[in-house]
Amino acid sequence: MADDTGNLELEAFRAEARAWLEANFPPALKGKGGLAMAEITFQDADLATWRRAIGEKGWATPTWPKEYGGGGLSRAQARVLQQEMGRIGAFNPLMFGMGVTMIGPTILDYGTEAQKQQHIPPIVRGEVQWCVGYSEPNAGSDLASLQMRCEDAGDHWQINGSKIWTSGAQYSDWCGALVRTDPTAKKHDGISFILIDMHQPAIETRPIKLIAGASPFCETFFTDATAPKDAILGELNRGWTVGKRLLQHERASQTGDRGPGGGGSAVALADLAKRYAGADAAGRIADPDLRTRVIRQQMDAKVHGLTLARAAAEAKEGASNAASVLKNSATHVAQTRAELMLEIMGHQGLGWDGEDFTREELEAVRGWLSGKAMSIYGGSFEIQNNIISKRILGLPDSTGST
Ligand SMILES: Cc1cc2nc3c(=O)[nH]c(=O)nc-3n(C[C@H](O)[C@H](O)[C@H](O)COP(=O)(O)OP(=O)(O)OC[C@H]3O[C@@H](n4cnc5c(N)ncnc54)[C@H](O)[C@@H]3O)c2cc1C
């Protein structure tokens, strides 16, 4: 009976979501989410309208509390909303921003009431861009070795040092950073998580060019940068705990449930293989070895998708150590797919530019290259395996780093 009531409520919500989406999602944007989102610019009038509408409704952050502008939906309602968006080719225009995927959830977990009031509503409405300042030249996987200093300067904090690989720092309004507030403490202690306003001359960003052509991240230098006294997120010198929580949220956003990652368009691999490498009389991929590997990749992708769906259905909270398993599995599925795409395309999968290559072929090459980053960012493939062995399987810690 309780189930029936729940189902009735969900179906009522489905009707509400369907009506709202039909009234507010600009049809011209249909199917332009995921990878295709790169094709539309922020100046696009339809995209601006859609960002505003979904931001005001709170449905870009559907499960966040209503009091800070979020959708206030249950997880089941959020899934219905996602299904309804998928049905009409709509997408969440804020889903890839670090404010929505990492910083916002961490502020909701650890922020003071004042921090939530200040930072969550602009994130929900997509009005601010955030970056994450964790990695340093000598602190990547061994993040707790970070050295960026944050000193008590009386009425404010003074920050000196540098970060590296800071995604989107050159466009960001705010940075959530891990800094050393007590250099005398053991390395995992004495770290704090601080919210830094990026609009100050004391911060310089130098974009780094990647092999795939883009400059998605920066070296970021802080020279006597400042932050107000109430900018520490969580307890002073207990930032390691806050920082780990953000990483769980980050990994939860990299599990592949928000569209394909790491390699080319969403075209079916089997179709591609038949087009480039030929089909046999029965209509199958002609080369049996390639056929086996394409099928294996498709099975892996299917299993990953089903595991994701089960994890979402069972989830009691937004992120946990299980995200490490899903992130590694998503990485394997995406990178294998990208490798197969290039192999199937043969010489046509070796192009960089020029008229000899189709757009799909050029995208496949760039997607393959940029997809290499999936096993590095958010903590490398090996670091996820360390977390899985230590925190899920309970095996002895051999590294002391996670
Ligand atoms: C596209 C992209 C975006 C990024 N965005 C950001 C960002 O926005 N903010 C930010 O702070 N950082 C960002 N990073 C940095 C990323 O978090 C680091 O690159 C990553 O944590 C690895 O650190 P590292 O590059 O210093 O490599 P290292 O730590 O030097 O690792 C080198 C190799 O050694 C392996 N290794 C290291 N330690 C161990 C161990 N204990 N056990 C087993 N293997 C180990 C690693 O797996 C890796 O293969 C980004 C990286 C990329 C590629």
Nearest CA residue ID for atom 27, ligand 1? 140
* Nearby residues of 285 by Cβ (< 8 Å), 6 or more positions away: 270, 273, 274, 277, 278, 279, 291, 294
Is the CB of 193 within 6 Å of ligand 1? no
- Shared domain for 277 and 382, answered yes or no, is yes
Mutate to test the pocket of ligand 1, among 96, 147, 380 (most ligand atoms within 8 A of CB): 380
What's the token pair of residue 30? 């249909």
* Dist CA 80 CA 397 (whole Å): 41
* Dist CA 176 CA 167 (whole Å): 12
- Shared domain for 288 and 322, answered yes or no, is yes
- Shared domain for 318 and 361, answered yes or no, is yes
* Dist CA 245 CA 9 (whole Å): 33
Is the CB of 383 within 6 Å of ligand 1? yes
Nearest CA residue ID for atom 44, ligand 1? 382
Q: Which residues face 233 on adjacent strands?
A: 193
Interval between CA 247 and ligand 1 midpoint (Å): 12
* Dist CA 173 CA 385 (whole Å): 33
Percent of the chain predicted with pLDDT > 90: 76
Domain that holds residue 270: 254-392
Interval between CA 236 and ligand 1 midpoint (Å): 25
- Shared domain for 278 and 198, answered yes or no, is no
Residue where the block lists tokens 């089903």:
306
**Residue 109 included in any domain:** no
**Residue 322 included in any domain:** yes
What is the CATH classification number for the domain harbouring 19?
A: 1.10.540
| 207 touches 215 (CB < 8 A) | yes
Is the CB of 402 within 6 Å of ligand 1? no
Interval between CA 140 and ligand 1 midpoint (Å): 5
- Shared domain for 364 and 265, answered yes or no, is yes
Is the CB of 373 within 6 Å of ligand 1? yes
pLDDT score recorded for residue 209: 86
Q: Which residues face 179 on adjacent strands?
A: 192
pLDDT score recorded for residue 215: 82
Which atom of ligand 1 sits closest to the CA of residue 98?
8
Interval between CA 159 and ligand 1 midpoint (Å): 23
Looking at the 3D structure of the chain, how many domains does it have? 3
**Residue 152 included in any domain:** yes
Best CA proximity match to 7, nearest among 65, 75, 77: 77
Is the CB of 13 within 6 Å of ligand 1? no
Mutate to test the pocket of ligand 1, among 377, 386, 395 (most ligand atoms within 8 A of CB): 377
Q: Give catalytic status of residue 22 as yes or no.
A: no
pLDDT score recorded for residue 57: 97
**Residue 100 included in any domain:** no
- Shared domain for 183 and 278, answered yes or no, is no
Best CA proximity match to 337, nearest among 276, 250, 269, 237: 269
Best CA proximity match to 381, nearest among 390, 372, 392: 372
The last residue of a domain, from among 182, 212, 239: 239
**Residue 80 included in any domain:** yes
Is the CB of 134 within 6 Å of ligand 1? yes
- Shared domain for 283 and 378, answered yes or no, is yes
Interval between CA 380 and ligand 1 midpoint (Å): 5
* Dist CA 4 CA 7 (whole Å): 5
Mutate to test the pocket of ligand 1, among 172, 253, 376 (most ligand atoms within 8 A of CB): 376
Which atom of ligand 1 sits closest to the CA of residue 373?
53
**Residue 107 included in any domain:** no
Is the CB of 379 within 6 Å of ligand 1? yes
Residue where the block lists tokens 């997880």:
75
Q: With a cut of 70, which residues of the chain have pLDDT below it?
A: 1-6, 34-42, 212, 257-266, 315-319, 398-402
Interval between CA 131 and ligand 1 midpoint (Å): 16
Q: Which residues face 178 on adjacent strands?
A: 193
Q: For residue 223, give the H/E element and its range.
A: strand 217-228
Interval between CA 322 and ligand 1 midpoint (Å): 19
Hey, what's the torsion of the CAs at 151, 154, 156, 157, to 10 degrees?
Answer: 0
Interval between CA 113 and ligand 1 midpoint (Å): 33
| 180 touches 191 (CB < 8 A) | yes
- Shared domain for 218 and 272, answered yes or no, is no
Nearest CA residue ID for atom 16, ligand 1? 377
- Shared domain for 151 and 229, answered yes or no, is yes
- Shared domain for 269 and 363, answered yes or no, is yes
What's the token pair of residue 70? 């979020």
From the list 39, 151, 235, 250, the catalytic residue is: 250
pLDDT score recorded for residue 40: 57
Nearest CA residue ID for atom 38, ligand 1? 141
Q: How far is CA 241 from CA 65, 101, 234, in A?
A: 23, 18, 9
- Shared domain for 9 and 135, answered yes or no, is no
User: Counting Cβ atoms within 10 Å, is residue 114 exposed (0-12), middle (13-18) or buried (19+)?
Assistant: exposed
**Residue 399 included in any domain:** no
- Shared domain for 80 and 205, answered yes or no, is no
| Alpha-helix runs per DSSP H in 315-378 | 322-345, 359-371
**Residue 123 included in any domain:** no
What is the CATH classification number for the domain harbouring 349?
A: 1.20.140.10
Nearest CA residue ID for atom 30, ligand 1? 140
